Chain A
Amino acid sequence: MEKVFISMNAEGHLVIKPAGEHRAEQVAEASSDANPVSKRLSKSGVLDSRGRLKLPADVRRFLRGDDDPA
């Protein structure tokens, strides 16, 4: 069974993430401390730890064709 990390966001909603994703965010945040822009973008969830756009899962599925609209 996949491990998950549960936290509460600023709006008071529970957020459940795969543990691996949570760890990647922690690493990204730690490594971006020296760069204020990097830190802001990491915290806002714009980029992942490798600098790629962190599009929502349903958008990623659409772009990959997993939810074929045809």
Chain B
Amino acid sequence: MAWTCQSVLLPPVTLSTTAAEVFSIQMNLPPDVEAEIDYRGAPPTDVRKRPDFHYYRECFIPTEGHFPLLSKELLRSSTLSGPDLASFPRLLQDELSKLREQGVLGNVVLLRQSIHAFVKQKLDSGEFSQPMEIAFAPRGYSREK
């Protein structure tokens, strides 16, 4: 399986854009995959065609708008309004990128605190040694708990 790489659960990070926490896992990918993501994962060159383009590629959750889901989750707990609300996705995208560069945010973003807590509990108990092992465990396993 392509995803049997090392991974680490990172502590929550509190955003300045909105007073909310973001939860993440760092997957240490093979160098050729990292290089390919750099090659293909850049934003569109002509932003005039996509002025509303908001895409935080480090989420690494393809399709179905993971980034919009993350924005929505964070906005739910915020008190932003007016222009701040409209510019929030862009501000969030910029802040997440900076946190990623600083190494405090992983490349797989979790949408809910409950998932982070569940993964942490499984790691602390010694049942699993790496967070992505839990993500790849058969779903029946997590439902039984």
Contacts and interface: CB of A to CB of B under 8 A. Distances in A.
A35 B135 contact: no
Contacts of B142: 62, 67, 69
B131 to A, nearest CB: 10
A56 B139 CA distance: 12
Interface string A56-70: 101111111101111
Q: Chain A: interface residue count, which band?
A: 20 to 34
A45 B36 CA distance: 13
B61 A60 contact: yes
B36 A37 contact: yes
Q: Interface on chain B toward A: helix, strand, loop, or mixed SS? A: helix
Interface residues of B, number: 38
B35 interface: yes
Given A63-B108, A68-B114, A50 B143 contact: no
9 nearest A-B residue pairs (beta carbon): A51-B40, A51-B41, A65-B112, A69-B142, A53-B60, A48-B62, A52-B62, A69-B118, A51-B37
Interface of A: 21, 32, 35, 37-38, 41, 44-56, 58-65, 67-70
A51 B33 CA distance: 9
A68 B112 contact: yes
Given A46-B33, A63-B108, 10 more contacts: A38-B40, A47-B40, A51-B40, A53-B3, A53-B29, A53-B33, A60-B64, A64-B66, A65-B110, A70-B114
A50 B62 contact: yes
Nearest to A64: B111
Given A46-B2, A52-B60, A69-B143, A63 B111 contact: yes
